Amino acid sequence: MNDSDESAGLIDTVRQAASSAVVLRITGGDSKKRLGNRISADATDQAFSTLSHTGIISYEPTELVVSVRAGTPLQRLNQVLDDAGQMLAFEPPEFPGSTIGGVLACGMSGPRRPFNGSARDYVLGTRIINGQGQDLSFGGEVMKNVAGYDVSRLQVGAWGTLGVLLDVSMKVLPRPEAEMTLVQDANAEDTQSFISLLRQPWPLSGAMLLDNRRYLRLSGSEASVRAAARELGGEAPDTEDAGIWQSVRDQSHHYFLDRSEGQTLWRISVADHAPELALQGEWLHEWAGAQRWVKTRQSADEVFQAARSAGGHAIRYDEGPAGEPAFQPLEGAMLRLQSRIRDSFDRERLFNRGRFHPELDAGQSYPTAGST
Amino acid sequence: MSAEPVAATSAESAPHEHLPVDEPPDEDVRARRLAQRRRYAVELRRLLPDDAVLSSEEELRPYESDGLTALKATPLLVVLPETIEQVQQIMRWARDHSVPVVARGAGTGLSGGALPHEDGVLLGLAKFNRILELDPSRGFARVQPGVRNLAISDAARPHGLYYAPDPSSQIACTIGGNVAENAGGVHCLKYGLTVHNVLSVTVVTIDGDLITLGSEGHDSAGYDLLALITGSEGMLAVVVEVIVKLLPVPPVARLLMAAFDSVEAAGDAVGRVIAAGIIPAGLELMDKPAIIAADAFAQCGYPTDAAALLLCELDGTEEEVVSQIQQVSDVFSGARAASLHVAQSEEERLLLWKGRKSAFPAVGRLAPDYYCIDGTIPRRQLSHVLQRMEQLSSEYGLPIANVFHAGDGNLHPLIMFDAGKPGELHRTEELGSRILQLCVEVGGTVTGEHGVGLEKINEMCVQFDAATLTQFHAVKAAFDPDGLLNPGKAVPTLQRCAEFGAMHVHHGELPFPELERF
């Protein structure tokens, strides 16, 4: 794979789109095609890929910082970090073809999230193209930086609607010396059992509940992992469960692949201590109960209602019927504020119009080409 | 990342002029302000209890500056609300009358972020000082913004929990201010900054809307406004409630102290620790002037003949810490440490930290005044930056002591000076500005944790280009379209940068020196 700085061409494309009011559908490896809202493809919409903008710009293991172009395959970045004994500590899901730009735009984190932090926590700086085709840099390659608003972290999970990610700098961490998985029998309803674990200083790096089994992952020095395993108890994973953290993270586990008739997969984000949600379906609790997957036949409205009443929010992970939102709808003062933030980066809604929260794109008059 | 900054960076300095905020205004302005003060006091006393509105000169004086005492200004009024509804009413009133609002916590900030606006209202949040809920099983505390940082950990400790960010001012600074500045501390290499330790923040906007950003879960719908509000220096909204994450207190914490014959050797040792795959809980570097000052102040047993000192704290389970202490000792020995010492007791560990944490007041005893700088640099640039600083120090004839959050590259040079000597404050500020420009030159930033405030507003023009500054202003306008929250701080106007840059071109010769600037 050749490194290539395609930023000039990408900026040029956005400028042309801005002057002709063409909506850009941003893609990287196109590995998250089924996620987000379906866009009724307008004839004038244009696919816009960052995939060729690729390569590691700089990597200094002793500085714990890596800077990469957005189109860099996640697999390649992980390999380079692994060779130096380091890792992305937010452990992002790796779908076939995933790029680092896509992972950050969708704000995705893996099993370590509750213990080590999220994708946005590790972002130090970004270079983006805004809706006017301007080339802007925020943050930098240093860990502590409060000069200007934290626009870099704001980009994470914005689904490209606040700009096109060109380059990102992230903090990386050393890989733990030792890692061990424990499997314990558990009651599927007993999500609260994680709570007491979390308030103790165990060297945890994963905690999930699936099919009446509780899975714990320990990370740290050999000695501390062994000592914790002795106290916590449990079995080593059997052959069926080998590699379970990775298969759940990457959604290649059978839980994520199989659907019964009429089921839709949802991700529900709540407090780890939130009670059971009143939804019928098959559950998988990750993040010690803070990230809950459910395959259900219930309607989007019912899922959103259940998530809201538990103080959380839901995202649909399957393609859904046209017009039914994939993200928990925003309302009231929050909707007004977020719409104005979208305005401030992409007033004409060039980027991924309709893909994220369509309510942020609604009620807006889109000036035609050349009106600015 | 190639864009041209608004002001050119070169070794030559531009005079660093601050807003002439303490110059006496002319008679007309004074009369207009007095009339406004009377009128606004009457209006605000309709919304608030009488004693929540301060309007006399004596009452206003304690609020005229924050921790950056070189800058002073008297606000029109100080308001001290005690309910969220009152904050909402004040904000709506301010919007309707186009009156600037500056929020203030404990006033310990070091960049002038809480400096009052002379035509505005200072919104003091001191009465919001209650811990509303501390739930050990759910692992969080819900607190009002005026609660002191250390008070949260004190309340959590009986449950085996604590709040991780520990800025040096933690005994006095408040959580609302910590959110505004994204405060760090000596343990942030491992445990993160405020942004990593806050679950949600409830704010009041200039429209009086009450909005909760973040949630008790790990994310929330739409944009990550929690990340955006953290470190936004009171420019976007006023924080009225915070939910912080509480972590289990590590069972064991040990401190390793290593002396080195040169700062370079100590810097190299830091890189080797990281390369060995160890993230210490704290990793602090002091140079010789700082070691001597801190030891004289705290009598903590530092090796005062050392050129540089590293304090390395390791925490976790007993097994983890024992193995890491051994690893780090080996690394330091391999990096030519002149001496190595592990604190033998909890008392000694705390005493060794006391030296480091009192470095600022300690340096304060060596000179009538000191000025604290807050740049961050890539750690590999440390030797180069220290050499350049030494040159600058002799050029200006002002000694500098250095304390350094070595793990994360955050440098705090302390410039010693005498404000009683004519022109010395001005030269000190100019030297500080040169140091910050040096940080930007080597790929760093003008502020790691103290904020831009008003202090570093000019240096922002060096770090960012016009388009990026314009984007910052657009983000601000999304929250505060009329620019009423903390006006003039954090992000410079392009006009101001043009003037700063223009002065630069003239090699320090001010055009029209008789004019007031900015």
| CATH assignment at residue A25 | 3.30.465.10
Which of B139, B316, B446 is opposite residue A224, by nearest beta carbon? B316
Type of residue numbered A59: Y
Whether A203 contacts chain B with CB within 8 A: yes
CA distance A188 to A210: 7
CB contact under 8 A, B478 and A198: no
Whether A79 contacts chain B with CB within 8 A: no
pLDDT of residue B104: 98
pLDDT of residue B380: 87
Find chain A residues with C-beta within 8 A of B436's C-beta.
none
pLDDT of residue B4: 56
pLDDT of residue B511: 35
- Looking at the domain assignment, is residue A357 inside a domain? no
CB contact under 8 A, A333 and B209: yes
Domain ranges of chain B: 1-124+459-518, 131-248, 252-362
CB contact under 8 A, A337 and B479: yes
pLDDT of residue B512: 35
Same domain, residue pair A138 and A244: no
The pairing of strands B282-287 and B400-405 is antiparallel
Q: What is the largest CA-CA distance in chain B?
A: 72
- φ, ψ of residue B488 in degrees (nearest 5): 85, -5
- Using pLDDT thresholds of 50, 70 and 90, give the confidence band for residue B5: low
Find chain B residues with C-beta within 8 A of A273's C-beta.
137-138, 216
CB contact under 8 A, A107 and B224: yes
Please check whether residue B298 is in contact with residue B362, taking contact to mean a CB–CB distance below 8 angstroms.
Answer: yes
Please check whether residue A182 is in contact with residue A234, taking contact to mean a CB–CB distance below 8 angstroms.
Answer: yes
In B, minimum Cα distance to A116 occurs at B191
Q: What is the CATH number of domain B1-124+459-518?
A: 3.30.43.10
Taking the alpha carbons at both ends of chain A, their separation in whole angstroms is 40
ipTM summary value: 0.95
> Which residue would you say has higher pLDDT here, A143 or B124?
B124
Same domain, residue pair A138 and A16: yes
- Looking at the domain assignment, is residue A359 inside a domain? no
Same domain, residue pair A148 and A231: no
The CA dihedral of B68, B74, B77, B81, to the nearest 10 degrees, is 10
Tell me if the domain spanning B252-362 has CATH number 3.40.50.300: no
Please check whether residue A113 is in contact with residue A287, taking contact to mean a CB–CB distance below 8 angstroms.
Answer: yes
CB contact under 8 A, B448 and A146: yes
Nearest CA-CA partner of B360 in B168, B99, B164: B168
User: Is pLDDT of B264 > 80?
Assistant: yes
Which of B207, B445, B472 is opposite residue A145, by nearest beta carbon? B445
- Looking at the domain assignment, is residue A112 inside a domain? yes
> Domain range spanning residue A16?
7-174
CA distance B276 to B328: 8
CB contact under 8 A, B471 and A291: no
The CA dihedral of B151, B153, B154, B159, to the nearest 10 degrees, is 140
State how far the alpha carbon of B75 is from the alpha carbons of A64, A265, B28, B56, in Å: 44, 56, 17, 11
- Using pLDDT thresholds of 50, 70 and 90, give the confidence band for residue B383: confident
In B, minimum Cα distance to A86 occurs at B277
Please check whether residue B209 is in contact with residue B112, taking contact to mean a CB–CB distance below 8 angstroms.
Answer: no
Work out the average pLDDT over B35-48. 97
The CA dihedral of B445, B448, B453, B455, to the nearest 10 degrees, is -60
Neighbours of B220 (CB within 10 A): 24
pLDDT of residue A363: 56
In B, minimum Cα distance to A338 occurs at B223
Same domain, residue pair A83 and A151: yes
CA distance A258 to A97: 21
CA distance B200 to B145: 12
Work out the average pLDDT over B155-183. 95
Report DSSP state, residue A241: G
Find chain A residues with C-beta within 8 A of B1's C-beta.
125, 127, 137, 167
Under-70 pLDDT residues of chain A: 1, 40-43, 188-189, 191, 363-372
- Looking at the domain assignment, is residue A338 inside a domain? no
User: Is pLDDT of B14 > 70?
Assistant: no
Type of residue numbered A137: S
Same domain, residue pair A79 and A166: yes
Please write the tens of the pLDDT for every residue from B463-505: 999 999 999 999 999 999 999 999 999 999 999 998 887 443 3
Same domain, residue pair A265 and A189: yes
In A, minimum Cα distance to B267 occurs at A62
Find chain B residues with C-beta within 8 A of A340's C-beta.
477-479
Which of B166, B223, B447 to probe the A interface (max A CBs under 10 A)? B223
Same domain, residue pair A241 and A148: no
Same domain, residue pair A206 and A260: yes
CB contact under 8 A, B379 and A63: yes
- Using pLDDT thresholds of 50, 70 and 90, give the confidence band for residue B24: low
Same domain, residue pair A49 and A147: yes
Nearest CA-CA partner of B180 in B207, B198, B162, B163: B198
User: Is pLDDT of B26 > 90?
Assistant: no
Number of domains in chain A: 2
* Alpha helix stretches (DSSP H) within B358-465: 359-364, 382-396, 424-441, 457-463
pLDDT of residue A1: 52
Q: What is the largest CA-CA distance in chain A?
A: 69
CA angle A146–A149–A155, rounded 5-degree value = 115
Q: Name the minimum distance, in Å, from the CA of B416 to any CA of chain A.
A: 25
Please write the tens of the pLDDT for every residue from B50-103: 999 999 999 999 999 999 998 999 999 999 999 999 999 999 999 999 999 999
Same domain, residue pair A120 and A205: no
Of the three residues A146, A174, A202, the one that is the final residue of a domain is A174
The pairing of strands A46-49 and A24-27 is parallel
Please check whether residue B120 is in contact with residue B488, taking contact to mean a CB–CB distance below 8 angstroms.
Answer: no
Find chain B residues with C-beta within 8 A of A150's C-beta.
182, 195, 227-228, 230-232
Q: Name the minimum distance, in Å, from the CA of A155 to any CA of chain B.
A: 8
CB contact under 8 A, A136 and B467: yes
CA distance A80 to A72: 11
User: Is pLDDT of B514 > 60?
Assistant: no
Which of B250, B277, B323 is opposite residue A85, by nearest beta carbon? B277
Please check whether residue A66 is in contact with residue A170, taking contact to mean a CB–CB distance below 8 angstroms.
Answer: yes
State how far the alpha carbon of B401 is from the alpha carbons of A22, A175, A334, B361, B366, in Å: 56, 36, 47, 12, 10
CA distance A121 to A301: 31
- Looking at the domain assignment, is residue A198 inside a domain? yes
The pairing of strands B282-287 and B308-316 is antiparallel
Helix (H, G, I), strand (E, B) or coil at B140: strand
Please check whether residue A333 is in contact with residue A51, taking contact to mean a CB–CB distance below 8 angstroms.
Answer: no
pLDDT of residue A43: 65
pLDDT of residue B6: 58
Please write the tens of the pLDDT for every residue from B420-456: 999 999 999 999 999 999 999 999 999 999 999 999 9
Please check whether residue B260 is in contact with residue B208, taking contact to mean a CB–CB distance below 8 angstroms.
Answer: no
Report helix angle A332-346 to B466-479, nearest 10.
160
Q: Name the minimum distance, in Å, from the CA of B45 to any CA of chain A.
A: 28
Neighbours of B481 (CB within 10 A): 12
Whether A142 contacts chain B with CB within 8 A: yes
| pTM given for the model | 0.93
Partner B, chain A 100-139, Cβ-Cβ below 8 Å: 107, 113-114, 117-118, 120-121, 125, 127, 130, 134-138
Please check whether residue A300 is in contact with residue A323, taking contact to mean a CB–CB distance below 8 angstroms.
Answer: no
Of the three residues A174, A203, A226, the one that is the final residue of a domain is A174
Same domain, residue pair A128 and A196: no
CB contact under 8 A, A199 and B139: yes
Helix (H) or strand (E) holding B214: strand B210-214
- φ, ψ of residue B507 in degrees (nearest 5): 50, 40
Find chain B residues with C-beta within 8 A of A61's C-beta.
274-275
CA distance B327 to B515: 61
Helix (H) or strand (E) holding A232: helix A222-232
CB contact under 8 A, B221 and A328: yes
CB contact under 8 A, B376 and A145: yes
Please write the tens of the pLDDT for every residue from B239-258: 999 999 999 999 999 999 99
Which of A63, A147, A221 is opposite residue B319, by nearest beta carbon? A221
Residue-wise DSSP of B223-273: S-HHHHHTT-TTSS-EEEEEEEE-EEPPSEEEEEEEEESSHHHHHHHHHHH
Same domain, residue pair A169 and A204: no
- Using pLDDT thresholds of 50, 70 and 90, give the confidence band for residue B360: confident
Partner B, chain A 226-265, Cβ-Cβ below 8 Å: 226-228
Find chain A residues with C-beta within 8 A of B446's C-beta.
147
- Looking at the domain assignment, is residue A287 inside a domain? yes
Type of residue numbered A334: M
Establish, for the pair of chains A and B, how many residue pairs have beta carbons separated by less than 8 Å: 271
Find chain A residues with C-beta within 8 A of B235's C-beta.
149
Q: Residue B214: which residues within 8 A CB-CB, separation 6 or more? A: B198, B199, B200, B201, B220, B225, B226, B243
Type of residue numbered A234: G
Find chain A residues with C-beta within 8 A of B188's C-beta.
143-144
Buried b (16+ CB within 10 A) or exposed e, A56-87: bbebbbbbbbbbbbbbbbbebbbeebeebebb
For B298-449, strand residue ranges (E) read 308-316, 339-342, 369-372, 375-376, 400-405, 410-417
Fold classified for B131-248: 3.30.465
CA distance B195 to B279: 19
Of the three residues A174, A191, A215, the one that is the final residue of a domain is A174
Which tokens is B340 given?
A: 């190595």
